[in-house]
Amino acid sequence: MSSSALPYAVSGLPRLSRPALQHTIDRAETLSGIGLHSGRPVSMTLRPAAPGTGILFRRMDLPAGAARDLPARADRVVCSPLCTTLTNPAGSQISTIEHLMAAFAALAIDNVIVETDAPELPILDGSAAPFVAMIDRAGICTQAAPRKMLRVLKRVHVEKGPVSATLEPGPGGLSVSFHIDFPAEAIGRQSCHIALGEAGFRRHLAGARTFCMKDDVYAMQSAGLALGGSLDNAIVVDGATVLNREGLRYDEEFVRHKALDAIGDLYMHSLPISGRYTGVRASHAMNAALLKALLADPTAYAIETVAPGSGLAETFTASRDEAELVCA
């Protein structure tokens, strides 16, 4: 399925004419949905923010004060099952933010306040497409401040058994390669590669949905997770069968979603990354560990001003693989 056939309008032309400057949104925009893990209604609002603010989540269901605010920072990411979670010194948390963060990264949103009335964002359809459409409705505003980026200077690698994630220096912009291997016949081994840009993200990744195995649903819900999960917001796989009536939106939708997740996870420091990322079966926790390992080594990165024309030419490939996956 092409992006033009998605239930959200995400195939519009890129509108960023000044990529070396910071961006926010033009006006506030609100949407509502169900929390994936709580199963409860959630409302969220995007609001414009001043240059240098970064991505700031604000829990409006909490009393006014510092406990409300959760800036997107790598050192504030905590491990949580099946999603990415931010915390703050007061112990407040906001979860399931990776799809929105991927949309911010792809559309070059540097500064925005995300207000929510719950400890997680709405899952919507399980992809980034509704968040892209939300940003489109809000409009994108160029700000009179230079954009900063985090340039990878040397290879950083984390792994645990067959799972790994790597960042390496690249020619400019962010490229993402992801490889998965699942026993379910409907998924199997899949790979994709994208040189991140707004147009390519809209076309190839934005609509790719989160997924799970049918056999895992009962276990997750018994543990108090995925209480809001349904065929409306996730692909459910049973062996060789996709249980969703509409089927898949893309070939290799599963690995495309994992690449989408990685893009969101790598934007958790509110700075675009210039480098090459490779994930082999990598989880949110592995991506968080990679970003923390990078930032823990001052010789591994530099924060620089984005130069005009510093991005990569947009490319995308995806395939089913026959070779067994191994760690880099």
Average the pLDDT over 196-207 and give the result.
Answer: 95
Domain of 291, in residue numbers: 3-320
Q: Residue 19 — pLDDT band, cuts 50, 70, 90?
A: confident
Q: What is the pLDDT of residue 216?
A: 87
Q: Is residue 203 part of a domain?
A: yes
Q: Is residue 328 part of a domain?
A: no
pTM: 0.92
**Mind listing the pLDDT tens digit for each residue in 266-292?**
999 999 999 999 999 999 999 999 999
Q: Percent of the chain, pLDDT > 90?
A: 77
More confidently predicted of 130 and 327: 130
**Can you state the angle between helices 98-106 and 253-266, rounded to 10 degrees?**
80
Active site residue: 179, 193, 269, 284, which one?
Answer: 284
Q: Is residue 146 part of a domain?
A: yes
What pairs with residue 183 in β-bridges?
none
326: pLDDT strictly greater than 80: no
Min mean pLDDT across 17-21, 40-44, 200-204, 322-326 is at: 322-326
* Beta-strand relationship, 112-116 and 241-242: unpaired
DSSP state of 323: S
DSSP state of 200: H
Average pLDDT taken over every residue of the chain: 90
Q: Residue 8 — pLDDT band, cuts 50, 70, 90?
A: low
What kind and span of H or E run contains 319? strand 316-320
Handedness of CA 194, 197, 202, 206 (dihedral sign): positive
- CATH code, domain carrying 149: 3.30.1700.10
Mapping DSSP to helix (H, G, I), strand (E, B) and coil, where does residue 165 land?
strand
Taking the C-alpha atoms of residue 50 and residue 169, their distance in angstroms, rounded to an integer, is 30
Taking the C-alpha atoms of residue 303 and residue 174, their distance in angstroms, rounded to an integer, is 14
Q: Is residue 172 part of a domain?
A: yes
Q: Is 99 annotated as a binding residue?
A: yes
| DSSP string covering 241-288 | EE-STT--SSTTHHHHHHHHHHHHHHTTTSS-EEEEEEEES--HHHHH
Nearest-CA neighbor of 106 among 169, 16, 18? 16
Our count of domains for the chain comes to 1
Q: Is residue 327 part of a domain?
A: no
- Alpha-carbon 216 to chain mean position: 23
| DSSP string covering 55-71 | EEEEETTSPSSGGGEEE
Count of beta carbons in the 10 Å neighbourhood of residue 270: 23
Q: Is 261 annotated as a binding residue?
A: yes
Active site residue 284: yes
Taking the C-alpha atoms of residue 122 and residue 115, their distance in angstroms, rounded to an integer, is 12
Structure tokens given for 307: 């130069």
